[in-house]
Structure 1
Amino acid sequence: MAKPNTKQPVKTVDIYCVKCKFKLMKYRKGGKGSLVKCFHERIVDRYFNAQGQCPNCGNKFARDALIRGVPAYKIIGGKVIVK
């Protein structure tokens, strides 16, 4: 399987918790589709703990996964907002 693009996207997006609107991370997102996975190497700023839980309300929004052999977070649908 192909690895993700080594050249990182220029566009950054802010990701917020749906429940309490806490800013979870700033991420370099490529493409215009919905947010399904977040590769660890593309996270610019991270404001949550390693288990994929919101530090403010405790809402679990992601799971750790290996996608194409690269560590990433699989986002649980409907748990985050991308702005």
Structure 2
Amino acid sequence: MAKPNKKQPTKTVDIYCAKCKSQLFKYRKGGKGALVKCFKERIVEDFTTESCKCPSCGQEFARDTLVRGTPAYKIIGGKVTMK
């Protein structure tokens, strides 16, 4: 399997909880598709205190996994929004 690109994308997006609208991550996203997974190495700022849980409402928004041999968060559909 191919690894994610070594060269980091330049475009950053803000990721928010869909329930309470609090900011979760500032993330370097490549491409223009939907947010399905977040590679941990691409997270610029992490506003969460506990892994995969919203700091405000406590809702679980992702699962901790390995994607192509790289640690990542697999986003649960409809739990986050991005701007």
TM-score (norm 2): 0.97
Number of aligned residue pairs: 83
1:35 corresponding residue in structure 2: 35
CA distance in 2, matches of 1:5, 1:25: 20
2:22 corresponding residue in structure 1: 22
TM-score (norm 1): 0.97
Distance apart, 1:51 and its partner CA: 2.6
Work out the percentage of aligned pairs sharing the same amino acid: 70
Q: Secondary structure at the match of 1:41?
A: helix
2:10 corresponding residue in structure 1: 10
1:70 corresponding residue in structure 2: 70
Backbone CA RMSD of aligned residues: 0.7
Q: Secondary structure at the match of 2:55?
A: coil
Q: Which runs of 4+ in 1 moved over 2 A?
A: none
The answer on 1:55 being equivalent to 2:70 is no
Gaps of 5+ in 2: none
Q: Secondary structure at the match of 2:72?
A: strand
